[in-house]
């Protein structure tokens, strides 16, 4: 007859084996076809609730936990940062502003400045999403790209026509850039 510790150890070992097989057969193939920003959401999301049980024990927090759970049920889980913008709007922004320096898709195949990477080259990089999400922080963009609520990088006059980007317009640009991603 097995004692309680042995039974617990056996159950734990078998559950690890089952979880490993599920991860290998189902989770890994599903995640392999997704971009990193989209794949991490279902993996990280359960950890948002790790401390909810402890919060219920803190006086005055029961209402906050209830409201949080109710909001999650009513409004759904967060999107995880995936750009859900409009590729058409993103193309218009890119051809109007970005094409002054970059080659953008088939819009200006012989244009751009020789020292700037084309959009087609950028999307081949592993970190292309992060680069497009933060382009306004990367030199030389802070000189002429304005973000509402962010102070100007310098008081010197810009050497190119200024334009403003919002979170929505960045999502649009990323949606357009995704259409340039080669299927490999």
pLDDT in tens, 42-72: 777 666 666 555 555 656 555 555 666 656 5
Section 133-154 average pLDDT: 82
Contact 85, 173 (CB under 8 A): yes
At 60 the pLDDT is 58
At 8 the pLDDT is 84
Q: Write down the domain spans for the chain.
A: 4-75, 87-180
CATH architecture for the domain at 87-180? Orthogonal Bundle (1.10)
User: How far is 21 from 8, CA to CA, in rounded Å?
Assistant: 20
pLDDT in tens, 74-105: 555 555 444 478 999 999 999 999 988 899 98
pTM for the structure as a whole:
0.53
pLDDT in tens, 156-179: 888 788 888 888 899 999 999 999
Secondary structure letter of residue 151 according to DSSP: -
Round the CA-based radius of gyration of the chain to a whole number and report it. Answer: 24
At 31 the pLDDT is 80
């Amino acid at each position: 007859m097995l004692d309680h510790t042995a039974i617990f150890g056996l159950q734990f070992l078998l559950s690890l084996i089952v979880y490993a097989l599920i991860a290998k057969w189902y989770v890994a193939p599903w995640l392999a076809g997704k971009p990193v920003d989209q794949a991490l959401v279902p993996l990280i999301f359960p950890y948002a609730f790790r401390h909810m049980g402890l919060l219920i024990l803190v006086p005055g927090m029961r209402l906050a936990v209830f409201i949080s759970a109710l909001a999650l049920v009513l409004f759904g889980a967060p999107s995880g940062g995936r750009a859900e913008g409009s590729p058409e709007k993103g193309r218009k922004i890119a051809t109007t502003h970005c094409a002054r320096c970059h080659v953008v898709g088939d819009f200006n195949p012989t244009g751009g400045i020789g020292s700037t990477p084309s959009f087609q080259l950028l999307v081949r990089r592993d970190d292309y999403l992060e680069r497009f999400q933060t382009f306004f922080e990367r030199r030389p963009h802070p000189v002429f790209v304005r973000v509402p609520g962010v102070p100007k990088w310098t008081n010197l006059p810009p050497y190119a026509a200024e334009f403003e980007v919002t979170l929505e317009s960045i999502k649009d640009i990323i949606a357009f850039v995704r259409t340039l991603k080669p299927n490999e």
